């Protein structure tokens, strides 16, 4: 197998974790990232690696030169803020839809045979079927979800018309090292971990009974690589298949971090779905393994990376998951 790959969004939260595992497994990796939300901080520990190159560029400007010698593209670059996508749907479309189209067009011209794309649970909207299968209805509630869905359709079209193979991963609530807690709409776990480390209150919006399927970022990275190495194709939910309530999450964060934080409940967020969880049978049967780090285990590993030398601990984390 050719081990030269390009990762769009490789300086972001999920992308940089993916790059760590790719390099560990001996791949030659190009990162293409415009650093709009990603950061060189996330990849600085790898910048001296001769098997890594970094191209600072918007996915709308990707050129044939960037794809020379590349066998497959992991397309992760995106604007991920749902609220921003409602405030500025044109910009969301420019990056999340047109950007994907440009990646596919340049890949077609360069003769690239496979694109692996990270879509989102946001394509389903407020679906009745929980746990949710890949075939559930798709009624996205935001331009972000809509553009992720439409981009998945582009990949299917490129498969039908040009024979380009694809993997579409619909990610549920991903958490772990390098998730940025600074935005009001950052992932809840990154915020809880930060508050807990300072013994500040953990704020739960609503009654705390709402659930999410929290999946550890290293499991997502390992699954993406397995999907490439096993040459599977198609659309897959990526989650643990377990629901965790926000009350349980907050208590587990306090437990794992040994924090003195208390928990407060505030008014629920408008327009929010109550339950979210995936059925991950399709991914499990196709890969023979799936993201299934328990919430307590994932939070403990995440906490370790915040507390001790990140690179050393993260390597242990990868070894754990890939050796399964």
Positions marked active-site: 144
The H or E element that residue 189 is part of is helix 188-197
Is 127 among the residues that bind ligand UD2 (CB under 6 A)? Answer: no
Q: For 114-151, b where at least 16 C-beta lie within 10 A, e where not — what string?
A: bbbbbbbbbbbbebeebbbebebebebbbbbbbbbbbb
- For ligand UD2, the closer CB: 80 or 193: 80
Min dist. Cβ of residue 172 to ligand UD2 (A): 8
Q: Judged by CB under 6 A, does residue 310 bind ligand UD2? A: no
Residue 248, H or E segment: helix 246-257
| Tokens linked to 87 | 């405030």
122 near ligand UD2, rule: CB under 6 A: yes
Segment interacting with ligand UD2, rule: CB under 6 A, options 19-27, 33-41, 162-170, 186-194: 186-194
Q: Minimum Å distance from CB 185 to ligand UD2?
A: 6
Q: How far is CA 92 from CA 15, 86, 205, 254, in A?
A: 19, 8, 26, 35
Binding-site member from 269, 312, 319, 324 for ligand UD2 (CB under 6 A): 269
- 77 contacts ligand UD2 (rule: CB under 6 A): no
- Work out how close the CB of 148 gets to ligand UD2 at its nearest, in angstroms, rounded to a whole number: 8
d(CA 79, CA 147): 10
Stretch that binds ligand UD2, among 128-136, 159-167, 228-236, 266-274 (CB under 6 A): 266-274
Does the footprint of ligand UD2 cover residue 272 (CB under 6 A)?
yes
Residue in 218, 215, 266 with CA at minimum distance from that of residue 238: 215
Give the residue at shortest CB distance from ligand UD2: 187
Kindly determine how many residues on this chain lie close enough to bind ligand UD2 according to the rule CB under 6 A.
21
Measured from the CB atom, the residue of 30 and 179 that comes closer to ligand UD2 is 179
212 scored as a contact of ligand UD2 (CB under 6 A): yes
Q: Confirm or reject binding of residue 177 to ligand UD2 (CB under 6 A).
A: no
- DSSP state for residue 42 in the 8-state scheme: G
β-pairing verdict for 173-175 and 244-245? unpaired
Task: Dump the DSSP string for 73-114.
Answer: EEE------HHHHHH-HHHHIIIIIIHHHHHHHHHHHHT--E
Which one of residues 132, 146, 173, 259 is an interface residue with ligand UD2 (CB under 6 A)? 173
Q: What is the closest distance, in whole angstroms, from the C-beta atom of residue 287 to ligand UD2 in the complex?
A: 22
Among the listed ranges 43-51, 57-65, 119-127, 129-137, the one in contact with ligand UD2 (CB under 6 A) is 119-127
Rounded CA separation 190/244 (Å): 16
C-alpha separations of 296 from 76, 233, 280 in Å: 27, 31, 20
Q: Does 82 bind ligand UD2 (CB under 6 A)?
A: yes
* Residue number with CB closer to ligand UD2 (59 or 80): 80
User: Using CB under 6 A as the criterion, which residues of the chain lie in contact with ligand UD2 when the complex forms?
Assistant: 80, 82, 120-122, 173-174, 185, 187-188, 191, 203-205, 210, 212, 246, 269, 272-273, 276
């Amino acid at each position: 197998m050719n081990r030269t790959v390009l990762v769009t969004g490789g300086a972001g939260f999920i992308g940089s974790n993916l790059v760590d595992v790719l390099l560990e497994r001996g791949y030659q990796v190009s990162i293409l990232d415009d650093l709009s939300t990603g950061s060189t901080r996330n990849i600085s520990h790898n910048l001296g690696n001769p098997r890594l190159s970094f191209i600072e560029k918007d996915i709308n400007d990707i050129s044939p030169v960037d794809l020379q010698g590349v066998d497959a593209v992991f397309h992760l670059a995106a604007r991920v803020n749902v609220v921003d996508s409602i405030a500025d749907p044109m910009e969301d479309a420019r990056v999340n839809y047109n950007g994907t189209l440009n990646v596919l067009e340049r890949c077609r011209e360069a003769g690239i045979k496979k694109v692996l794309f990270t879509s989102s649970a946001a394509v389903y909207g407020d679906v009745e079927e929980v746990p949710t299968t890949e075939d559930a209805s798709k009624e996205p509630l935001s331009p972000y979800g809509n553009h992720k869905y439409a981009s998945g359709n582009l990949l299917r079209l490129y498969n039908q018309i040009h024979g380009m193979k694809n993997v579409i991963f619909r990610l549920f609530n991903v958490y772990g090292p390098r998730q940025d807690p600074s935005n009001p709409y950052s992932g809840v776990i990154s915020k809880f971990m930060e508050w807990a480390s300072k013994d500040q209150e953990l704020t739960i919006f609503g009654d705390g009974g709402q659930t999410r399927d929290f999946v550890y970022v290293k499991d997502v990275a390992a699954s993406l690589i397995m999907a490439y190495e096993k040459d599977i194709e198609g659309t897959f939910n990526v989650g643990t298949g377990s629901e965790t309530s926000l009350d349980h999450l907050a208590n587990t964060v306090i437990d794992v971090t040994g924090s003195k934080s208390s928990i407060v409940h505030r008014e629920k967020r408008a327009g929010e779905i109550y339950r979210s969880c995936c059925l991950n049978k399709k991914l499990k049967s196709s890969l023979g393994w799936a993201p299934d780090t328990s919430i307590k285990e994932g939070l403990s590993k995440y906490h370790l990376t915040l507390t001790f030398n990140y690179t050393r601990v993260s390597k242990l984390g990868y070894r754990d998951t890939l050796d399964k």
